[in-house]
Structure 1
Amino acid sequence: MTKRLWSFSIVCLLVTSCGAPFSKPFPDQSSAHLASPHVTQTSTEANRDFEESHFVTDSDANTANAKKRINTLLPVSTPSASTVPSASATPSRAPRSTVTPSSKPKISSRKPATQTEASKRPSVPVQKNQGQIRIAQKKLTLSQLVVKYPETFKLRGSSQEKKIALTFDDGPDTRFTPKVLDALKANQVKATFFVLGSMAAIHPDIIKRIANEGHVIGNHSYSHENLPKLSVDKFQNQIERTEHVLQGLIGYSPRLIRPPYGAINEEQVKWMADHHYLIVNWNVDSLDWKSLSSDQVLHNIMQQTKPGSIILQHSGGADSQDLSGTVQAIGPLISKLKASGYTFVTVPELLHVTKSR
């Protein structure tokens, strides 16, 4: 009996000192987290925060396992709207502590892609417009202008006929132009002279002689300016002023225009076309303006000449230039080319155009 009482007393003491309410969960990390109000975040919000988190790794396996871990920890039932906290609440901690970050963060697969596409959209038309503007502003080369304006800009005649045209620029002057005329007359060849308005006004008698001896006169500007560098008004004045001088001396307004240095831009070509001028450059350059000897002038011309060629020489120039080689080369040049079967004609004859507008 005594033993039974003693055993009963021991059991009572143990129950009194060690008892605990069985309804309370064990205080482990997970249960503590589940008791937190932060777990009321929806699964969509949790996944979104997870994807935006820097703990998301480049490994698909790690990402899937981490998401599975979070979903396991979230409550099954969805809380009512009144119990959902604000979106700014701190994301759950327990699942993050179980994910081991790897070497490289992964950016969200949806939002950054959308932002990147949106940021690119406005730049596309801007880049296209800038490209179109650059193309529109790009200056065409002389050869491109010839191709684009074949009826207004000429470098040579037809290669189907063995005809060539001698041309002389920068006259008239009293040193070399009369000698050039004498050489042409002696060889019974007609040429084309592109003269300066300022020089024509000073030497009107030489201009008249050129015309009277059957040569054609073209417009080489008034004062040998680089035309593309001029304003529209100054450019037009260079042409029209020369035309006015020549009209009074030879009785016609020359249709043929040779820009100084052969330089011209597209706007000026369009103006020439609108006013029925014809731009005539060359495809054979004697380089005689370098004060070359007659042999050098002859060599330069002979090695370049082909059927339809327009040959550039000079009958006037700066005081420092010596065109004696040009004058001396005329006779031998005509003889050699005639012997090769070439016929000398004026530029209007070569291009089958009129000399006047």
Structure 2
Amino acid sequence: MKKDQLFTRRRILLVGATAAAGAAGAAGLLAPGDDEPAGGAAGPAAGAPARSARKASAYRLQPLTGYGPPSAAPDRVPVRREPLMSLSGRGRSMVLTFDDGPDPRYTPQILDTLGRYDVRAMFFVCGEMAVDHQDLLARMADEGHVVGNHTWSHPLLTTLSRRRIRSEMTRTSDVIETGYGERPRWFRAPYGAWNRAAFQLGSELGMEPLAWTVDTLDWTTPGTRSIVDRVREGAAPGVVILSHDAGGDRTQSVKALRRYLPQLLDSGYQITVPRRQHT
């Protein structure tokens, strides 16, 4: 796909997203967790090893993201000491996130399921995966999903120099801009291992750090039913669900989404994409 065609598609998406965001009004914002350390390196959290009668559109999709046209320089964002973890605001809103992709074996199936129920999600992509599958980034843009930065090669950031961390982030942001149409506004550290350098460099690149509330542990391939149960048991207003669309066999993750997504919607949850909080 030519780049001018991609940006034409992106502009069409932005017009629609801006109108939807206006309808959403002053919806909830992401809030930092209370139990993260104030500085230094945060220990690795759970995560994948490196490698009804309601109208769907009106009820199920309540976008919170403030989309805008690409800018020449990154937006100024605060340097945080802990990642954002939960969504504080009105309503029964939840965020679904998928890490490590895009993978042509599983990501299209996840996008198909999200599209079937007219909801949006976040995809934290690795540069080494995204560079060869920019068509999937373009599809995410066209369908209104949010793409975040998950580094180039999924390293443990707390073991790297600042220069290497910057390279991991910058290369991935460059690939996302080419395929998605704009630079990412969100960043997630592999393994949930954050340190001061990651927060500072992410801020310099215009990205907010986002963690999660509920880990499905799908990367352990515990069985489809186990993944579904973790989502159902952890469901609550404001939670951010962590799943994966790459990094291994994600067949269970795909099947689980097909089961728990309609259950969440029928229970009254709104599946949203987040709006960035500047403080």
TM-score by structure 1 length?
A: 0.54
Q: Please list the CA deviations of residues 5-53 of structure 1 after superposition, one character each: whole Å capped at 9, or x if unmatched.
A: xxxxxxxxxxxxxxxxxxxxxxxxxxxxxxxxxxxxxxxxxxxxxxxxx
Change (3 A) 1:273 1:152: farther
1:178-189 counterparts in 2 under 5 A? 178-189=108-119
SS at match of 2:87: coil
SS at match of 1:174: coil
Shift of 1:347: 2.6
The structure number with the bigger radius of gyration is 1
Change (3 A) 1:142 1:187: same
Q: Does 1:296 align with 2:236?
A: no
Instruction: Decide whether the 8 Å contact of 2:224 with 2:252 is kept in 1.
Output: yes
Q: Structure 1: which 5+ residue stretches go unaligned?
A: 1-137
Shift of 1:152: 6.8
Matching residue of 1:329: 256
Shift of 1:181: 1.0
Change (3 A) 1:249 1:141: closer
Shift of 1:140: 5.4
Matching residue of 1:163: 93
Shift of 1:219: 0.5
The correspondence for 2:272, drawn from 345, 353, 357, is 345
Higher relative contact order (CA 8 A, sep 6+): 2
Shift of 1:259: 0.9
Structure 1 window deviating more from structure 2 (192-201 vs 153-162): it is 153-162
Matching residue of 2:178: 248
Look up the equivalent residue of 1:179 and give its one-letter code: Q
CA distance in 1, matches of 2:153, 2:104: 17
Q: Write 1 or 2 for the structure with the bigger share of strand.
A: 2
Q: Structure 2: which 5+ residue stretches go unaligned?
A: 1-38, 45-77
Instruction: Decide whether the 8 Å contact of 1:190 with 1:346 is kept in 2.
Output: yes
Instruction: Decide whether the 8 Å contact of 2:99 with 2:123 is kept in 1.
Output: yes
Shift of 1:211: 1.4
CA distance in 2, matches of 1:193, 1:224: 14
1:1-357 counterparts in 2 under 5 A? 139=40, 141=42, 153-158=83-88, 160-317=90-247, 321-348=248-275, 351=276
CA distance in 1, matches of 2:91, 2:219: 29
Instruction: Decide whether the 8 Å contact of 1:171 with 1:177 is kept in 2.
Output: yes
Change (3 A) 1:211 1:151: farther
CA distance in 2, matches of 1:174, 1:327: 13
Instruction: Decide whether the 8 Å contact of 1:159 with 1:306 is kept in 2.
Output: no
Instruction: Decide whether the 8 Å contact of 1:172 with 1:316 is kept in 2.
Output: yes
Q: How many residues align?
A: 207
Instruction: Decide whether the 8 Å contact of 2:138 with 2:181 is kept in 1.
Output: no
Q: Please list the CA deviations of residues 178-227 of structure 1 after superposition, one character each: whole Å capped at 9, or x if unmatched.
A: 11111111121111100011111111111211211111111110011111
Task: Flag as ranges the 4+ runs of structure 1 deviating above 6 A.
Answer: none
- Cα RMSD after superposing both structures: 2.3
SS at match of 1:217: strand
Shift of 1:141: 3.8
SS at match of 1:303: helix
Q: Please list the CA deviations of residues 125-161 of structure 1 after superposition, one character each: whole Å capped at 9, or x if unmatched.
A: xxxxxxxxxxxxx845469xxxx96687201111543
TM-score by structure 2 length?
A: 0.69
Instruction: Decide whether the 8 Å contact of 1:152 with 1:273 is kept in 2.
Output: no
Instruction: Decide whether the 8 Å contact of 2:41 with 2:194 is kept in 1.
Output: no
Instruction: Decide whether the 8 Å contact of 2:141 with 2:181 is kept in 1.
Output: no
CA distance in 2, matches of 1:217, 1:175: 18
